[in-house]
Structure formats: structure tokens, C-alpha cells
Structure 1
């Protein structure tokens, strides 16, 4: 998994039949260098027929390197790098060549997970909810709960674990809540030359400016009924809203924006969740977590509290989804992407 935060490639092994999780295995992480990150960032927003420069080779080499260190897998789920996402418009573009990756590694690869869903009228995102449903079973959840992924973009999965399968009506509701780490990363890169606000230290020094926060929450996206999804740069206006603020106040305000977007999103849940389990880099930001705990009416905790690995959950998700694709099982449904009926996505490159 290479996400919108552009920090690096996560790889993780999961043992599954595509329905239940039997076990989790080894994992690995390969960070991007500054030059590699710059190459990838330079092509955000571009489509397959645009000039992508050296970015495809950067992505390929990084994946080959990290996956070469994980042996014993029967199949690889390859997400690719999302460059552009415009469901209902031009479609979706996850850069990456599954055929080339399969040839380089000598293992079957499942990839291009989102296109089929978008072609059938879905949002193409988020795709982790079916895996979250399996995780709810793995941890023995009995009451409705929510998984909150705070990556570059925030996404929420509401789950009723009492349903038999993730594609069943009422089992899942999933959608992008709004921007999360990506705009904060962009801010600190521009102002301080940092890749991210480590431990929320800069935000902790600042004060939230309510006027900017209110303007942010006026965005029409928050009124849309889910399922709904975002592109990484859909909320680039956030930087404009904090342009005149000090570095610390800007970081605090943008962190509050990400948390407030989640709070707005919770209003769409079919029933109040028993708890919210947080994954993604945002769970390591104490300021973000404190804001969520103060604003939500249920316990908020990192997924590690229930024995899951928040650094690797998305990578595990695409391994799980790869097995579902091989077995002809759906990977998205009306409640997760808004597609008309449950659909299985993904292309298979065999060696």
C-alpha cells in the first residue's frame, strides 16, 4: 500500500479465505526518499495519458524492494498510487503496472481494484471496509462500531458485526469524512520543510482559529449523503484559509478541521457506534486524538488497543481483497461506495 500521504510503501501478510481472517503475518515498510516523494508528488492529479516522468519507475522499484523481503505469499494485492480520483467524471487513476510487478516478483498480483466499481457508478472508495468487517469478526465485536482511518484523507467505516457478510444490507456504511493528514503535511512542508507534524508538536503550540474552521465546515461536501469520496487535493482551499496564521495556529486549525470533519461524518451513522477504532498516521497525533475524544460521544482508541496494527491495516486490507477477487467475491457494495449492487473489482496478473 502506498497512500496519499506519500510516506512510503507498507507491505503485510495476512492468511485468509477471503471471508474470515485466520492470522496476520510479517510486515515491512520502505520509506520514500525525498527525491522519490517529490517525483510522486509532482504527478498528483495526472491521468494515464499524461506525462508521468519517472514516477512509475519509482513506484515499481519501491514495491519490488519491499515485497522481495516478504516470502511465502501466494498472491499479492497491489493498490498502486492514487494520482487522480474523479468518480462520475474521468474515473480513477491508480498508477502502477501489475503485470510488471508479477513478472519481477514471480508471484500472482491482483491490482486495479477501483476501476470496476467506478465504471458501475460507484465512488471507487473507500475499499478497506470489507476488510474492516472481517477485522470486527477477528476482534469478536458484537455491537456496532466504527473504524476511522486517518491517512492523507480520512475515511470512516461503520460496521454492524451482527450481519453475516459485508455485502449484506445494513452491514456497512463507509465514506471519506474529509481531509486528514495530507493538507497538514503540505502545510508543514511549505512552512518548515518537514514531511509531517511529528506527534502534533506544532499544532500543540497553536490555537484553533474558529473563523477559519467555520468557513471550512461550510463546504458543500459535508452536506452530501454518503457514500462519498474525495481526491487528495479536493480541499486545497484549507491552505488558503490559514495563509495569514502563524505556523502553530495554522497547524492547530488544520488539525481541528480534520477532527471536525470526522464529527460531521458521524452524524450519518445508522446507529451510534459503541466505539471508534483509529488507524492511519493520525492516531499518532495526540492533538488530533484529543480533539476526537472531546468531540465524539463514544470511546476513541487506536486499533492497537484491540490487537491490530494501525501501520499495516491498509496493506493487510489489499491482501485480503486480493483473495476475495481470486474467489469471485464482491469487494464493494452500495453501503461502501454507492455502487448499485455488490461488485468485485481487480485485475489478475498471473505468472
Structure 2
């Protein structure tokens, strides 16, 4: 795979670039995309960068019927010196293969796909917005393409990478969001696909999200699928609680996605000497800590929002007002540090950023 040449077809009809001050999340796409195909006989082959365009699939393509697909999400940032930086992209490539394994999709060559991603960004770097809080969102994904209605792993696949200049994921930005604790629906269970980044996990979350939004909440807090007692994730993010000076986050248990931002936050907290632990956390424990005044902050972590402070938690009608509905000092510090590292405005002691030459 390393020896394959990436064929490039330039677009002759360039799009008008958007106003970076008015960007939404995931509505606009750049001029080019990366595609690579797989068959059992050839393996991964024909890597190419082509003009952004619709794709054609057989109506019997297995992705439509059995949902065999995985994806990733990462970002490119432009510094004040006009350098282009990626943030820990090797973790996304590694996680894509973990998802592939769970969904019976052939492994990718992580180094080669990262090389292709970098080449695509080099071509599209003028699309990277520079307004505060903006970035170029990168979406690699794989779909099953074999036209077959039998329930089995596909024998052919298509890997694509598309790019989208984005603003803040939440309209609230770094301001606290209101979260509804979900008790009826569940996101995933251990042994299922919760630890993989696959479309079905997100499709199954939509109903609870719809219900919570009608009640004025931005996201739902997921509890475990067995006892509906232990905290798992918030929306599409990992979740952290600061209780009596210690930061606690649910341990990875087979149903929780291992977030890149989650890992980065844990590393930063340890670097700063702030106590942090990964363990089972019940919603009862959170409520008790709220009642006794030891619950200091709650925040979600993820590529899209980076840090999303929680200002209110609603559990069975009990509204917990977190830090007076304001962004806590630790949430703000984490957000500032991570975005500064991503944008190259402060030293990177972890060597997390990769410059796109």
C-alpha cells in the first residue's frame, strides 16, 4: 500500500468559499475528496483525489441494508503564522481500525491513509477558516458496497475522506449547555458496538435527542443499558465530573467510545497535578454530590465541541444547577489550553500536533 501512487484529478469548477464568521457545522464541503476501494481479490486499491461529487451505488449495496460502516472525525487548524496543524491524527487512524475490526471491515494501512489525508488537506488548505473557534473538519469513512442481500460481511468497500469548514458545534459555544438524563432509551451496551464509531450508534440516539430538545435541552446524558444507573456518555461526547477537587470520568467498559479529546484531557489533568480517575459513576452519586455541595463542574469532551460545559442537569425532574449555570474555571482552562495547542499559540509539551507541510 505504501508504494501506491495517489492519482489526482483537479476540479475545474471551484466553489466560492464561505464567510468564516458565519459558518455552521457540517453544511459546506470543499472542492476535492479522497476515495479508495477494496475488494477481497485486490485489497485496498486505486487511491485517488477527485472533485467533490455524488457517488453511485447499487440499490442492493449492503451499506443500505445492514449498516456496515465506520467513520472518524478530526480537524485541521491554521495558525497565525499560516501553518496548518492536525491534532493527534494517528489516534484517529488507529481508532478507525478498531472500529473496522468490530464491524468486520478490512484494516486500513494507517500510515498510508494519513498520508492521503495530508495530501488532500495540502490541496484544500485555503478552505481552512481563520476566525476564532473555526477549523476544517475532516471526515474519513468506510461503507460496504457489495450488492448482496444476504446477511454477511461485505466483500467490497469504499473509503472516502471529505472536508468541511466549520464553526462551533453548539450555538452556545463554550457557554454551558443544558443536559437531560435519559432513562428510557440507551445508547449502547457492553458487547455491542458502543466502543466503535459506527453510524448505528448515532441513529439509535436520535429519538432521545429529539425528545430532549423539545424540552429545551441541548443533549442527553446516557446511562448504562442494563441497570440504567451508571453514567456512560453525554450526547456524542465523553463526560467528566469535578467532585470535591477530583475529576472523574466513566471508565472504558466496552460500550463507551475512547475519545481522542477524552484522552487528551486526562493527560493534561495529570500533567497539571489534578487528581483524575476513570471508574464507574452512578447518577445517584452525582445527585448526592450535587446535594452536598461537592459537585463543582461537569463538562463534555469531543472533537467537534472540544470542551462543552454543562450548566444544568435534569434527572427525573430534579434540576441540578451546576456552578450557577456558568462555565467553571477548569472547563475554561482545558478549553483554552486545548484550542491553543490545536492552533499553535502555546508550546506543545506532548508533541500532539502534526504540521502539514
Common fold: TM-score over 0.5: no
More strand, by proportion: 2
TM-score, with length taken from structure 1: 0.29
- For the pair shown, the structure with the greater C-alpha radius of gyration is 2
Specify which structure has the bigger relative contact order, considering alpha-carbon pairs within 8 angstroms and separated by 6 or more residues.
1
